[in-house]
Amino acid sequence: MVTAKDLAAIILLMLWYSTPAYVANGLAVILGKNSRPIDNYKVFIDGRRILGDGKTIGGFIGGIMVGFLATIIQLPFRGLILSFALETAIREGISTTVICRIPSLIAATSFSGFLMRGFLLSLGAMLGDLIGSFIKRRLGLERGAPCIPLDQLDFIIVALLIGSLVTPIPLQYILVFLAVTFIAHITANFIAYKLGAKNRFP
């Protein structure tokens, strides 16, 4: 049985774990400004753009770089966060099955494993984003056209899959986190729309 506290713990652990993917995906928007499209304006056999103007070399490479930078920033804090998480989890009575996952989710198993995982999460986020756009173009959707839930989840699905090469994650954790990511994205877009920063919702 998963308690509400277990669920909260899983979400917090997954937030820390997937930070590089979030950073990569979030900052690609800024880093891709005025950069060349990855597909070099080429069209696919269906006559539509392979990826479209929204997927640039600058966004892709820049996203991976800032995602990895986020990993380097996380690196020195992982020991501290790990002991804090274990202490809190034990005090709050979190299930042992969740507690057992804490060390690998927070710190990976080694220094190099942690760095490799951060790189894979960033790469996975950017690849997932590309795959999402590729699918959207095949569905006949123009660049920027909303496509729920692909827009919200493409980056995180592939990031978590590739990240699992270093730290395997239970499927339930992935599903919980997909739901959280989806809700967070929709909420952020709604707020941006209400504030006038975006001209359409979603």
- How big is the site for Mg ion, counted in residues (CB under 5 A)? 1
Is residue 58 within 8 Å of 33, Cβ to Cβ?
A: yes
59 contributes a contact to ligand CTP by CB under 6 A: yes
143 binds, among ligand CTP, Mg ion, none (CB under 5 to 8 A by kind): ligand CTP
- SS3 call for 171: helix
* Region binding ligand CTP by CB under 6 A among candidate stretches 15-23, 51-59, 169-177, 194-202: 51-59
Verify cis geometry, omega within 30 degrees of 0, for the bond prior to 37: no
Among 27, 28, 158, 160, binds ligand CTP (CB under 6 A): 28
> For 159-162, which contacts have Cβ atoms below 8 Å and span 24 or more sequence positions?
159/18, 159/20, 159/21, 159/24, 159/120, 159/121, 159/122, 159/124, 159/125, 159/128, 160/18, 160/21, 160/121, 160/124, 161/124, 162/120, 162/121, 162/123, 162/124, 162/127
To the nearest whole angstrom, how small is the minimum distance from the Cβ of residue 40 to Mg ion? 20
90 contributes a contact to ligand CTP by CB under 6 A: no
29 contributes a contact to ligand CTP by CB under 6 A: yes
Among 144, 165, 188, 191, binds ligand CTP (CB under 6 A): 144
Among 17, 60, 114, 173, binds ligand CTP (CB under 6 A): 60
> Quick one: 39 or 151, whose CB is closer to Mg ion?
151
CA distance 52 to 144: 9
To the nearest whole angstrom, how small is the minimum distance from the Cβ of residue 120 to Mg ion? 23
Among 24, 55, 101, 156, binds ligand CTP (CB under 6 A): 55
- The structure tokens listed for 20 are 């590089």
143 contributes a contact to ligand CTP by CB under 6 A: yes
> Quick one: 67 or 118, whose CB is closer to ligand CTP?
67
Q: What is the DSSP string of 42-85?
A: -B-TTSSBSS-TT-BHHHHHHHHHHHHHHHHHHGGGHHHHHHHH
The footprint of ligand CTP (CB under 6 A) covers 28-29, 32, 35, 52, 54-56, 59-60, 126, 129, 133, 136, 143-145
